[in-house]
Amino acid sequence: MRLNTLFLKKLFVLSLIFAFIAGVNASAFANSEHNETVLKDSAHVTEAHAEGEGHAAGHGEEPFEPTKVIMEHISDSHDWHLWGHTSIGLPVILYTEAGLVTFNSSEFHHDQEGTHVVEKDGQKFVRFENKIYYAAETANEKGQYLTLADEHPTNAKPLDFSITKNVASMFLSAIILCLVFFSVAAAYKKREGKAPRGLQSFIEPIIVFVRDEVARPNIGHKYVRYMPFLLTVFFFILINNLIGLIPIFPGGANLTGNIAVTFVLGTITFLVTNFSGNKYYWKHVLAPDVPWWLYPIMLVVEVIGLLSKPFALIIRLFANITAGHIIVLSLISLIFIFKTLYIAPVSVAFVLFMDVLELLVAFLQAFIFTMLTALFIGTAVEEHHH
Amino acid sequence: MIGSIAAIGAGLAVIGAGLGIGRIGGSAMEGIARQPEAASKIQTAMIIAAALVEGVALFGVVVALLGTR
């Protein structure tokens, strides 16, 4: 119990520090956003002047589209946006009809409209809304090297294995996790039997919590086998949730709010659960205690039950994290919707509040995912006493 | 138009989740008030049940989100 309160105190202090940093960052983020829009606006105005009377009156200012901006920020991208027009190019790796093609994503020059063609190894590529297509021979009336049908390109796509922003962010979190846990493991070997120290004393309560509150009550005496998996899942989700909350450079990738990432996590849970299922578990699924004529229905229901459990995990993590990011970005967008800086204090205050709430959600979702995984494994390895 | 309908759908999903989580939280409070020594167990069970309700509500929200595309 003493351990628990100590941990809570530490958590509280840490969250306060984090909230402060997050608040400062949010305001910095707001400023850079503002500059960018101003830049865009002025660029557009000069363009409009150059085109002369072709456009109707009242088109002088580009309308701010919050939905588009928010979707841009929560989706994956080929380059890592820093501020304004500065971004880090990441490697693009394409598997085309003529083998592997690699180049730096900065060669697209921030183009997302399919107007800038990159030519590599005799093949031409364009990027349209974060997807890379084979370029068409000629440009259409808007200068896009694409054939659009209903605003969606119909061009063929190469297979994209690029190191995108999300992948780079995942590498970063993997490096952090390896550094932290190898050093903690080394400390346990070196100081065996002694009280934990430094980083050890921060990590130990969390590991003990996962063992005593999550693994043991749900799985039973076979819990030791599943501890590595549960801890890995817990810390992977936790660190990526936290990195996703940082709005500036090394953070900001919406990794756990990406359906593909959560899908893989859910699939691993599904496989682990079903491969560790004992005969009672499979009997319950394949030959439940019901009259034989109910089997056709029960079998379908049980199989759907198997699939829906990891599916719920996938959607829960994805939707929680994405919703959090959307709310924060919407609050920042208020400044640009009302076109005044006076709304900024309100906006930043709400963002600060939401960031603190998201900090709670980051821990809670990591906990819930691990907890339900342990619960599913527990039902799979449970011995029956009939 | 489709966006507005999707927003109404998301709102309906949120009403359901609100009712569900509200009931879970209320019952957990009562349980803790009657038996304060079982607070930690009740809290864990409460969080799991709330997460399950929330998961279903989030299905609705995600579908609404996809509807706006």
Residue A1 C-alpha, separation from nearest chain B C-alpha, in angstroms: 11
- For chain A, the residues whose C-beta falls within 8 A of a C-beta of chain B are 67, 213, 312, 315-316, 318-320, 323, 364, 367-368, 371-372, 375
Q: A315 vs B47: CB contact, 8 Å cut-off? A: no
β-pairing, A79-83 with A159-160? unpaired
Stretches in chain A below the pLDDT threshold 70: 1-61, 385-386
3 state SS of A86: strand
CB-nearest to B54 from A316, A367, A371 is: A316
Instruction: For residues A28 and A83, give the distance between their C-alpha atoms in angstroms, rounded to a whole number.
Output: 10
Q: What is the dihedral of CA B51, B54, B58, B59, to 10 degrees?
A: 80
Residue A386: predicted pLDDT: 53
CB atoms within 10 A of CB A9: 10
More confident residue, A42 or B45: B45
pTM summary value: 0.78
Angle at A362 between CA B3 and CA A86, to 5 degrees: 70
Angle at A218 between CA B51 and CA B30, to 5 degrees: 50
Burial class (CB in 10 A: 0-12, 13-18, 19+), A179: exposed
Per residue in A104-162, pLDDT (tens digit) is 888 888 777 778 888 877 788 888 888 888 888 777 777 788 787 777 888 888 888 88
Instruction: For residues B47 and A370, give the distance between their C-alpha atoms in angstroms, rounded to a whole number.
Output: 13
Instruction: For residues A38 and A36, give the distance between their C-alpha atoms in angstroms, rounded to a whole number.
Output: 5
Residue in the structure block whose two tokens are 């709430």: A357
Q: A316 vs B55: CB contact, 8 Å cut-off? A: yes
User: Which structure tokens are listed for A70?
Assistant: 């928010």
Preferred mutation among A259, A311, A320, A365 to probe B, highest tally of B CBs within 10 A: A320
User: Which structure tokens are listed for B5?
Assistant: 């309908």
Does the domain at B2-67 match CATH 1.20.20.10? Answer given as yes
Q: B62 vs A316: CB contact, 8 Å cut-off? A: no
Instruction: For residues A330 and A68, give the distance between their C-alpha atoms in angstroms, rounded to a whole number.
Output: 11
